[in-house]
Structure 1
Amino acid sequence: MSDSISDCGDCTEHRTAVTEAEVDALVQGICFKTGPPRTLGVEVEWLVHELRSPQLPVTPERLEAAYAALRTVPLKSPLTVEPGGQLELSSPPAASLMECVETVSADLDTVRAVLAEDGLGLVGFGHDPWHPPRRFLREPRYDAMELCLDRTGAAGRHMMCTSASVQVCVDAGYEEPGPLGHEQRWWLAHHLGPVLVAAFANSPLVGRQPTGWLSTRQLLWTKIGAGRAGAPAADGQPRSAWARHVLDAPVMCVRRDDSPWEVPEGLTFRAWARSGAPRPPTRADLDYHLTTLFPPVRPRGHLELRMIDAQPGDDGWIVPLAVTAALFDDPEAAEAAHRAVKPLAERAENLPAPHNPLWIDAARQGLADPELREAAVACFTAALQALPRLGATPAVVDAVTAYLNRYTVQGRCPADDLLDHPRSAPRRARGRKDIRT
């Protein structure tokens, strides 16, 4: 939520007003960069907790002191703070799966060491099971976001302040059709998405009580509105579909330099471009608008898969990264994944994600749903066959195998462990294998 499409919002080009037609052309040009899939990335979000007792809230003063210390250490992955104080590491584009794993693992080791000096640690849950939403950052962006999202209920504050995820970023793919073509990868991302939601669900508790959903985090996204967190149709031409979605999505805020940001109600970017009120939108406004849309698959030149809950354990994030990378970047695995999820498409009822029945079933039932479990087992199996071809170490292959056997084939996910022991504190991973060897 803290990223930006553009780095030059103050240049003349970005301060010039844009028309509706220019917005359409810009979005189609910047959001899908086609070519051979060569790079991979991951964004890992974490809740920060007391090492001695994770159920105790961390004061804002301690968080600020810890984050000040983190700003003094060198990291290869940019580190950002989310509105509720969650930490996010965003890997630089990596040329291989293992390069991505090694970079983020090393940075996480550094972050954990700095936090431990103040008695703090990182924990992976899709939603904080103990604490209510509490905003840590007081900035105009988040003031406006809170005001905007409050109009649809309490889900927005939970999303901002108590949720965390593993976001996998893959290249958009070739312009031409095929298993690695951008249209096929766009389709696969939206139909594999529910399988990833179900397989990695890890947010069944709010206020220490079961919500009835294995991925409460995914439920929250459905509650903040289709314009803000929904997706366009996955069939057809991705560029034009996404451009229409961007134009018809509600504007979160109109930024101003010398006064509080305006938070209009019901103003789409299309209507803003046509009317020019309360002031004409600029290219910088468009770039900012793109960062305020949170669909499960967000095109940002590459494809950002945003539907995976944060995972337990120090290295739990590696499994969804490895599985997703294999299913997108290995041609044989991509074909197998396409076949595995195709039977699920009918359950989507041609409704956009994540508001269609398939996504809702995935978030509520997880792999207890027989069709989702069958698809997940097929996808994990294809990924395991592909990982050695992608240069994965035996430790990574073993981690995916262990996850498949412990959870996927059993129709379980990490959320089931939490429901089995809802009041237990998370246990740090013990005796983990070093994936860098």
Structure 2
Amino acid sequence: MSDSATDCGDCTEPRTALTEAEVEALVRGICFKTGPPRGVGVEVEWLVHELRLPQLPVTTERLEAAYAALRSVPLRSALTIEPGGQLELSSPPAASLMECVDTVSADLDAVRTALAGHDLGLVGVGHDPWHQPRRFLRQPRYDAMETCLDRTGPAGRRMMCTSASVQVCLDAGYEEPGPLGHGRRWWLAHQLGAVLVAAFANSPLVGREPTGWRSTRQLTWMEIGADRAGGPPLDGDPRETWARHVLDSPVMCIRRESGPWDVPEGFTFRQWTRSGAPRPPTREDLDYHISTLFPPVRPRGFLELRMIDAQPGDDGWIVPLAVTTALFEDTEAAETAYRLVKPLAERALGLPAPHNPLWSDAARYGLADPELHEAAVGCFAAALDALPRLGASDRVTDAVTAYLERYVLQGRTPADDLLDRLRETSAHTHGKDRT
């Protein structure tokens, strides 16, 4: 989850009441800004744990002290803290893949150095395998979010407090049709998204036990429900379907200047504009409402791909960033990815992501699914071919090659490593018990 930005564009926010027609026009015009694709960004989330023993919980007091120290560290990326104490770095828009990689790498080095001074470190995993959800931030925003999400069960608290991801941000594309056109990129993001879920699955454990899913983080998003964490159908113009989705999605909360925020149930933004109660919605309310919708692909003037689990290792985040960027920004690679994922679309049964069989299979089986495995192998090969054309360094291409060989070609993901370690630990423990 990313709450580092609450707007849907670089615009002013007049506090005047909005009509339904104005909402639709604003969403259509701002959330899909088209032009030559050239910008790239990444948001990397991490769980923060004991440097030497990640299994040990970190007290609220230690987290507060460490984060207070981080505020004085000069960074180019925006640093935010998630509700459960997860740390997120959001890069500034970069003109190239390598500019983005270099910026975030330098910022992460500085963050790790500062955290090490408090005997803390960063852990890259999509869902905390050890600890139960625990709120770190106590703010009206998150109080309201918890109240709202609790209505659909415990998944909301797990999402808020125990999940982490790599979110890749890319321009919406050209207005004109073609491999880099906004309509094609919107469709590709949703179909390729299932392949990315499968290829980078890294959250098979909760409470130190297997859940039966390679990406429990993605399961969590599905359990939250389609009105909050689902996307619109893909059978229409992206601007129209997204504007309709925004208007017809329930409002998470209605903010107040002081005191707890109202958390209505089943009250859509369209109903709010029509009723004007308890007060008329403003442009600021619209921007905030969009920030409380968590589809796997969120248009915010660019496309935010939100389906990738956090990755292990200091540089693990670079691989999904590089692969995804190559498959969208290089014309030849984009065409190849389109051909590879087109047959997969039938398995979605026309249902929006992530609440369809294709995405469910990707989260449950990862690359053990034969069709997703075949598509992932082809997509990684196309990305590797494209990366030199995008100016990628040896560091980046070597990282992608190593991931391809260690995981993708073998039909494995980092989730399989975690499961293997659990089995080894269990076998060792049982062996000691028998002796």
TM interval, short-chain normalised: over 0.9
In the alignment, the residues of structure 2 paired with residue 72 and residue 306 of structure 1 have an alpha-carbon distance, to the nearest angstrom, of 29
2:380 partner SS: helix
Q: Which amino acid aligns with 1:146?
A: E
Aligned residue identity for 1:89: L
What code does the residue aligned with 1:298 have? Answer: R
Report the CA distance between 1:396 and its aligned residue.
1.0
Of the structure 1 ranges 398-407 and 182-191, higher mean CA displacement relative to structure 2 is found in 398-407
Aligned to 1:276: 276
Matches within 5 A, 1:260-299: 260-299=260-299
| Runs of at least 5 residues in structure 2 that lack an aligned partner in the other structure | 426-435
Asked if structure 1 preserves the Cα contact closer than 8 Å seen for 2:47 and 2:87, the reply is yes
Q: Which residue of 2 aligns with 1:3?
A: 4
Matched with 2:238 is 238
Q: How does 1:394-405 map to 2 (within 5 A)?
A: 394-405=394-405
Which residue identity lines up with residue 107 of structure 2 in the other structure?
Answer: D
2:87 match: 87
Matches within 5 A, 1:169-318: 169-318=169-318
Aligned partners of 1:9 and 1:284 also within 8 Å: no
Aligned to 1:144: 144
User: Is the deviation greater in 233-242 or in 371-380?
Assistant: 233-242
Distance, in Å, in 2 between the alignment partners of 1:288 and 1:366 is: 34
- Deviating more after overlay: 392-401 vs 111-120: 392-401
Question: What are the Cα deviations for residues 240-262 of structure 1, in whole angstroms up to 9, with x where unaligned?
Answer: 01000000001000001133100
2:104 paired residue number: 104
Q: Deviations over 1:54-75 (max 9, x none)?
A: 1000000000000000000100
Q: CA deviation at 1:300?
A: 0.3
The amino acid of 2:175's aligned partner reads: E
Determine the C-alpha separation between the residues in 2 that align with 1:423 and 1:365: 18
Q: CA deviation at 1:10?
A: 12
2 CA distance for matches of 1:244 and 1:391?
A: 39
* 1:380 aligned residue: 380
2: distance between equivalents of 1:423 and 1:71?
A: 40
The answer to whether the 8 Å contact 2:4/2:90 transfers is: no
> 1:149-198 CA distances to partner (integer Å, 9 max, x unpaired)?
00000000000000000000000000000000000000000000000000
C-alpha distance in structure 2 between counterparts of 1:382 and 1:14, whole Å: 45
Deviates more, 1:275-284 or 1:362-371: 275-284
Change (3 A) 1:419 1:152: same
Shift of 1:382: 0.2
CA distance in 1, matches of 2:20, 2:275: 10
Q: Distance in 1 between matches of 2:37 and 2:10?
A: 29
Distance 1:10 1:371, change over 3 A: closer
Query: What value does the CA root-mean-square deviation take over the aligned residues?
Result: 1.5
Letter in 2 for 1:64: E
User: 1:50-129, aligned counterparts within 5 Å?
Assistant: 50-129=50-129
* 1:225 positional shift: 1.1
Q: Would you say the 8 A contact 1:187–1:235 is kept in 2?
A: no
Q: Secondary structure at the match of 1:80?
A: strand
Contact 1:175 1:181 in 2 (8 A): yes
2:67 is equivalent to residue 32 of structure 1: no
State the shift of 1:326 in Å.
0.2
Deviations 1:366-392 (A, max 9, x none): 010000000000000000000000000
Aligned amino acid, residue 322 of structure 1: A
Does the C-alpha gap of structure 1 residues 403 and 374 become closer, same or farther in structure 2, counting only changes over 3 Å?
same
Deviations 1:235-293 (A, max 9, x none): 32100010000000010000011331000000000111111111111111000000000
Distance (whole Å) between structure 2 residues aligned to residue 108 and residue 180 of structure 1: 31
Secondary structure at the residue paired with 1:14? coil
User: SS of the counterpart of 1:149?
Assistant: helix
Separation (CA, whole Å) in 1 of partners of 2:119 and 2:147: 34
Contact map agreement 1:23 1:286 (CA 8 A) in 2: yes
Q: Distance in 2 between matches of 1:182 and 1:320?
A: 21
Deviations 1:102-133 (A, max 9, x none): 00000000000000011000000000000000
- Per the alignment, residue 43 of structure 1 pairs with 43
- Give 3-state SS (helix, strand or coil) of 2:61's partner: helix
Q: Check if 1:323 corresponds to 2:335.
A: no
Q: Secondary structure at the match of 1:361?
A: helix
Unaligned runs of 5+ in 1: 426-437
Shift of 1:7: 9.8
For residue 8 of structure 1, report the CA deviation from its aligned partner.
11
Is the CA contact 1:4–1:287 (under 8 Å) kept in the aligned structure 2?
no
Query: In the alignment, what sits opposite 1:414?
Result: 414
For 1:335, the aligned partner's letter is E
Contact 2:8 2:30 (8 Å CA) reproduced? no
Q: Is the Cα contact below 8 Å between 1:3 and 1:291 reproduced in 2?
A: no
Q: Is the 8 A contact 1:5 1:300 kept in 2?
A: no
Q: Is the 8 A contact 2:8 2:300 kept in 1?
A: no
Q: Runs in 1 of length 4+ with deviation above 3 angstroms?
A: 5-11
Partner Cα distance (2:61, 2:30) in 1: 40
**Inter-partner Cα distance in structure 1 for 2:273 and 2:240:** 18
C-alpha displacement of 1:6: 3.6
**Contact (CA 8 Å) 1:166, 1:317: kept in 2 or not?**
yes
SS in 2 for 1:410: coil
Q: Following superposition of structure 1 onto structure 2, how do residues 295-374 of structure 1 map, counting pairs within 5 Å?
A: 295-374=295-374
CA separation of 1:207 and 1:267: change in aligned 2, threshold 3 A:
same
Same amino acid, percent of matched pairs: 78
Amino acid at match of 1:3: S
**Distance in 1 (alpha carbons) for counterparts of 2:98 and 2:393:** 8
Structure 1 residues 423 and 149: CA distance shift in structure 2, 3 A: farther
Separation (CA, whole Å) in 2 of partners of 1:41 and 1:8 = 15
**Residues 378 and 43 of structure 1: is their aligned pair in 2 closer, same or farther, counting only changes over 3 Å?**
same
The answer to whether the 8 A contact 2:128-2:163 is kept is yes
Q: Name the SS for the 2:14 alignment partner.
A: helix
Q: Write the distance in 2 (CA, Å) between the matches of 1:306 and 1:208.
A: 25
- In 2, the alpha carbon distance for the partners of 1:202 and 1:317 equals 12
